[in-house]
Each structure stands twice: as structure tokens, then as C-alpha cells.
Amino acid sequence: MSDAENQIRETLSSNAVVLFMKGTKSMPQCGFSSRVAGVLNYMGVEFADVNVLADEGIRQGIKDFSDWPTIPQLYVKGEFVGGCDIITEMTLSGELDQLFETEGVAFDKDAAAKIREANG
């Protein structure tokens, strides 16, 4: 197992929600990362952000780990959920709320409803 893979596994086992992204949750450095971090921040979800731009090993390692070619990548309880398009669809359909409820992840239900209202 590579150092990057060990680091990824450690991060996933230590945090309920992890977003591998370009930039940080307070300063995203790509529109797709910004959208997913924005949704999570708006919904009040506590999540670890991993800036893939800071480490080329992690940047490639997470793509290999998930067998998913793009960043950002959202993980909940160690399971890969998806990238920007999937998270956007899940947010608008309510599936993301259901996933968070099932996995015991705290989030603001009113904020989630407001996202759907604004995009309905």
C-alpha cells in the first residue's frame, strides 16, 4: 500500500464526512469543489477537507482509490458517494438528506429544504 493510500484510509477512518477537493472549504480553488463545499457548509455538515492541490500523491491516489477520474470526491462513513454532479442531484432530490440521516450525520434540514426551494 502506498503512503498516499495509507493517508487516504486514515483520513476516511478518522472523519465521518470527507471532501477531497481542489482548495479548502474556506477557499475552494475550482467551481466544482466550491459547489460541493458550499452545499455542505450551507447545510451545516461537519466535514474534513483534503486539498488535493497540496499533494500530487493524494491527488492521483484518491482517483485510483475510488476508481473515479475527477475531483471533488465526497465520502460519508468511508464510502465514496460521488462528485459534483452526483452530489448536486442528490441534494436536489433529497437523497443526500436521507444518506446523512441513515449514517447519523448532523445537518440542517431547513437549509437543505431551502436549497431545493431555490432550485425547484
- Please give the domain boundaries of the chain with CATH numbers for all domains: 3-118 (3.40.30.10)
Q: How far is CA 17 from CA 1, 21, 30, 75, 117, in A?
A: 23, 13, 20, 6, 25
- Residue partners of 102: CB distance under 8 A and separation at least 6: none
Percent of the chain with pLDDT over 90: 97
CA pseudo-torsion sign 68, 15, 34, 84: positive
Query: In the predicted model, what is the mean pLDDT of the chain?
Result: 97
For 28-63, write each residue's pLDDT tens digit.
999 999 999 999 999 999 999 999 999 999 999 999
For 16-35, write each residue's pLDDT tens digit.
999 999 999 999 999 999 99
Helix then strand then coil, in percent of the chain rounded to 5, is 55, 15, 30
- Residue partners of 65: CB distance under 8 A and separation at least 6: 5, 8
With 80 as the cut, is the pLDDT of residue 1 above it? no
With 80 as the cut, is the pLDDT of residue 65 above it? yes
pLDDT at residue 2 in the model: 84
Peptide bond into 69 cis (omega under 30): no
